[in-house]
Chain A
């Protein structure tokens, strides 16, 4: 199997390398078309970072293609009358400048727009995609007048509608770039292969995982320590830089560029390539881009030729004059509709695998999850716990004073005080809608408080973004499970480690020994954590395919991967059966006992809360109505009235069993 795969790869590489000669031998004359196809592959791969990995719908990606092409055009073949005239720079320098300029503009338009939600981002990119060609057209005749002073008069910067012509070609001694399509084929192949290599390494790194986490659930990613703003900006900038390469090579290959080549349709065609092949899959995007270009450049032209021949032979004038290339958008649209209907994940997209029968379900049913074992506790968590914390004050972990929050007219939190001592398990209970989850959201930075102070290990948390709070050492789980559904189990945990890893873009691509070691360590830790929570052996499953109880445990593993000193659990046992609940209760107790982890726990299962909490705070209508030990809370008349109900005492199983 392995050798067959390897053989296939070798054959494919040999075919790609030999293609121009095969083409010449067969007289196909498709080398130009295939080279252009590879440029589109490069563009589509760049767009795939933005759309496929980070999940940001970009409708104006051709703008970056234009910027790359014009950067090359203007530097390498200055337009007559432009201030750059007379300084044609080397192609080999210009491609880097083009990529850098594209990345810079990507960051520039990304920065203000990435805070907006998905649909709005798409509209803004659409606008950007329209602006750039218009700007290029109008920069052919620039006059700036301030009062009577004209510092710039009738400047031709971009060549306007006529574009830039001719653009200089690359120079390598002895290589005929001017006359032969062959060198172009190999040049683009080399650039494409290098880009592909860089991208596949990025995909499988700390940064690639962060992009996918953002795509899957931005809020959960933020609360797992991934900074959504910088992560999205990086995706935008990198995506733009690849199109900068593509644009500059395109300009030099065509030798002439006009603003018409970068219209809205090009953005849509690139998007089609990504979606057709399968967003997020490198193989798929290459396939999609190649298929569409070959179809457009070769198949449509040949079919037109053939149709006309048929028309002439049969004497049908309609066919004899038909031009199928005018129908290209019709065919693209039709193809896209068919793909969406028949294979919505794209031709080579990652398929959502159903759980194999007889596993998952059955195992969960017949054998209850294994009880957490002290020996299985990952060593790195122990080390982390043994290290002295940042706090000068050993007593208080979390100190919340007078926390207040209103939503519209509804008071969600009304001056709540709550203290979590180091190594304590504090229960937070109260009627539904009392403000418990809002309290979590404020502490973790998702919601800004209207008033009050939140101090963690002696430092204020107010105003920090969720990911910064995770880095400080607070992790949380969600009431309704929020995993990265289309990522594997182990990837989910690795995203948890994101904020403890350091690899940068060059590091992730080049992988020096330090980065390799870091990645290996991260995977080792993830495996250890999964074994610990009882998910060992399921690390390659997609998170969405896990049974419910496993998903809850995975969320806890992900939270632990951030190396927290305080863990906020929002109804961790909701929807679990008694066995699973018991196991989870044991796990929480063990974490506190062995690691000294502090836990703040929202839970409606009174057996759990009363058994493991040291103290309990009760909220009702955003106000703290009681605070005390479990025994005090169970007897508290207001708590019984508002929350526990009278039936509670008659429930034998609900009484906290002595430990």
Chain B
């Protein structure tokens, strides 16, 4: 479904990705784990066209993405919940969610989807008329994910969805990730919380300094020495 082949991305003269290859098959949850600055977010930015790879290709359902503008890519059915809660602060929660469906053609299906995400995040229903900027950090995080879901993407890119959420919500978020995956959405999950990510994912990649150093079934990665030492904090 999604394939990156030998992708090199630079920021100015800085090499952020040094030949990343990865694939995501339909209906999979694939997780990309790695330390801060390893290139996780850059990988997502490259897929979405926010930065262009200097070398390598990105294909989605056989179509080349590298070189396309971000809004075109979103219309092809990819949505992202950005890291750092990039919501529209002066729009209400409802308006934020409606913006998520901006690029959709099936207007009739939007209302049931709104109902669906509000059921997934009851907290957002309570805050529906509040301005996005007045939400707490964690609530903004929920709003960012919910807004991405409103695009009803076939591929959902999640960047650190658990960041800044309470333990009970972290669990809920990962349950939601599994739920929407069962309903047919393919997910590429970038996470700092490697344990939770590998529990819900089918497969995983480990990225270090812009290179994929390990890839395997998620259960295998949970058992690997490298992952346990570096990313799970076990001695």
| Known pairs A432-B123, A432-B142, A437-B136; A361 contacts B164 (CB<8 A) | no
Bound-complex Cα distance A575 to B191 (A): 9
CB under 8 Å from chain B, chain A span 431-489? 431-438, 479-480
Bound-complex Cα distance A479 to B139 (A): 13
Is B135 an interface residue, CB under 8 A from the partner?
Answer: yes
Is A653 an interface residue, CB under 8 A from the partner?
Answer: yes
Q: Quick check: A547 and B37 within 8 Å, CB to CB?
A: yes
* Other-chain contact of B36, A434, A435, A549, A643 (Cβ < 8 Å): A549
Q: Quick check: A579 and B230 within 8 Å, CB to CB?
A: yes
| Known pairs A576-B192, A653-B232; A479 contacts B12 (CB<8 A) | no
Q: Mark B132-143, 1 if CB is under 8 A from A, else 0.
A: 001111110110
Interface residues on A, range: 35 or more
Q: Quick check: A578 and B169 within 8 Å, CB to CB?
A: no
CB under 8 Å from chain B, chain A span 335-385? 354-357, 360-362, 364-366
Q: Quick check: B233 and A579 within 8 Å, CB to CB?
A: yes
Bound-complex Cα distance A480 to B168 (A): 21
Task: For A435, list chain B residues within 8 Å (CB).
Answer: 136
Is B184 an interface residue, CB under 8 A from the partner?
Answer: no
Is B85 an interface residue, CB under 8 A from the partner?
Answer: yes
Q: Quick check: B163 and A575 within 8 Å, CB to CB?
A: yes
Q: Quick check: A431 and B166 within 8 Å, CB to CB?
A: yes
Q: Quick check: B123 and A433 within 8 Å, CB to CB?
A: yes
Is B160 an interface residue, CB under 8 A from the partner?
Answer: yes
State how many angstroms separate the Cβ of B38 from the closest Cβ of chain A: 6
Q: Quick check: A479 and B15 within 8 Å, CB to CB?
A: no
Is B231 an interface residue, CB under 8 A from the partner?
Answer: yes
| Known pairs A407-B134, A432-B139, A479-B137; A548 contacts B164 (CB<8 A) | no
CB under 8 Å from chain A, chain B span 41-100? 84-85
Is A93 an interface residue, CB under 8 A from the partner?
Answer: no
CB under 8 Å from chain A, chain B span 205-234? 208-210, 230-234
Is B165 an interface residue, CB under 8 A from the partner?
Answer: yes
Is B167 an interface residue, CB under 8 A from the partner?
Answer: yes
Task: For B234, list chain A residues within 8 Å (CB).
Answer: 653
| Known pairs A360-B37, A433-B136, A433-B139; A604 contacts B233 (CB<8 A) | no
| Known pairs A410-B130, A575-B192; A432 contacts B163 (CB<8 A) | no
Residue of B nearest to A582 (CB): B233
Q: Quick check: A354 and B11 within 8 Å, CB to CB?
A: yes
| Known pairs A362-B209, A480-B85; A645 contacts B164 (CB<8 A) | no
Q: Quick check: A364 and B35 within 8 Å, CB to CB?
A: yes
Is A313 an interface residue, CB under 8 A from the partner?
Answer: no
Task: For B230, list chain A residues within 8 Å (CB).
Answer: 577, 579
Bound-complex Cα distance A366 to B229 (A): 12
| Known pairs A433-B138, A437-B136, A653-B195; A577 contacts B168 (CB<8 A) | no
Residue of B nearest to A641 (CB): B168
Residue of B nearest to A604 (CB): B166
Interface residues on B, range: 35 or more
Bound-complex Cα distance A647 to B167 (A): 9
Most buried by B among A479, A571, A577, A644: A577
Is A606 an interface residue, CB under 8 A from the partner?
Answer: yes
Is B183 an interface residue, CB under 8 A from the partner?
Answer: no
Task: For B136, list chain A residues within 8 Å (CB).
Answer: 432-438
Bound-complex Cα distance A435 to B136 (A): 8
Is A648 an interface residue, CB under 8 A from the partner?
Answer: yes
Is A278 an interface residue, CB under 8 A from the partner?
Answer: no
Bound-complex Cα distance A366 to B139 (A): 34
Residue of A nearest to B169 (CB): A432
Is A574 an interface residue, CB under 8 A from the partner?
Answer: yes
Q: Mark B1-17, 1 if CB is under 8 A from A, else 0.
A: 00000000001111100
Is B115 an interface residue, CB under 8 A from the partner?
Answer: no
Task: For B37, list chain A residues within 8 Å (CB).
Answer: 360-361, 364-365, 547-549
Bound-complex Cα distance A645 to B166 (A): 9
Q: Quick check: B233 and A643 within 8 Å, CB to CB?
A: no
Is A277 an interface residue, CB under 8 A from the partner?
Answer: no
Q: Quick check: A365 and B168 within 8 Å, CB to CB?
A: no
Q: Quick check: B164 and A578 within 8 Å, CB to CB?
A: no
Residue of B nearest to A640 (CB): B168
Q: Quick check: A574 and B12 within 8 Å, CB to CB?
A: no
CB under 8 Å from chain A, chain B span 123-175? 123, 127, 130, 134-139, 141-142, 160, 163-172
Q: Quick check: A575 and B36 within 8 Å, CB to CB?
A: yes
Bound-complex Cα distance A548 to B234 (A): 22
Task: For A438, list chain B residues within 8 Å (CB).
Answer: 136
Bound-complex Cα distance A432 to B127 (A): 12
Bound-complex Cα distance A436 to B11 (A): 37
Most buried by B among A479, A578, A579, A653: A578
| Known pairs A365-B37, A432-B123, A432-B138; A354 contacts B12 (CB<8 A) | yes
* Other-chain contact of A647, B14, B123, B142, B171 (Cβ < 8 Å): B171
State how many angstroms separate the Cβ of B10 from the closest Cβ of chain A: 9
Task: For B134, list chain A residues within 8 Å (CB).
Answer: 407, 410
Is A258 an interface residue, CB under 8 A from the partner?
Answer: no
Q: Quick check: B137 and A648 within 8 Å, CB to CB?
A: no
CB under 8 Å from chain B, chain A span 415-443? 429-438
A-B contact pairs, 10 of them (CB 8 A): A410-B134, A433-B135, A548-B36, A548-B37, A576-B36, A577-B233, A578-B231, A606-B167, A645-B172, A647-B168
**Given A575-B192, A579-B230, A647-B171: 5 more A-B contacts, CB < 8 Å:** A361-B38, A361-B210, A362-B209, A432-B139, A577-B233
Nearest 7 pairs between A and B by C-beta? A432-B138, A578-B233, A645-B168, A547-B37, A548-B36, A433-B136, A354-B12
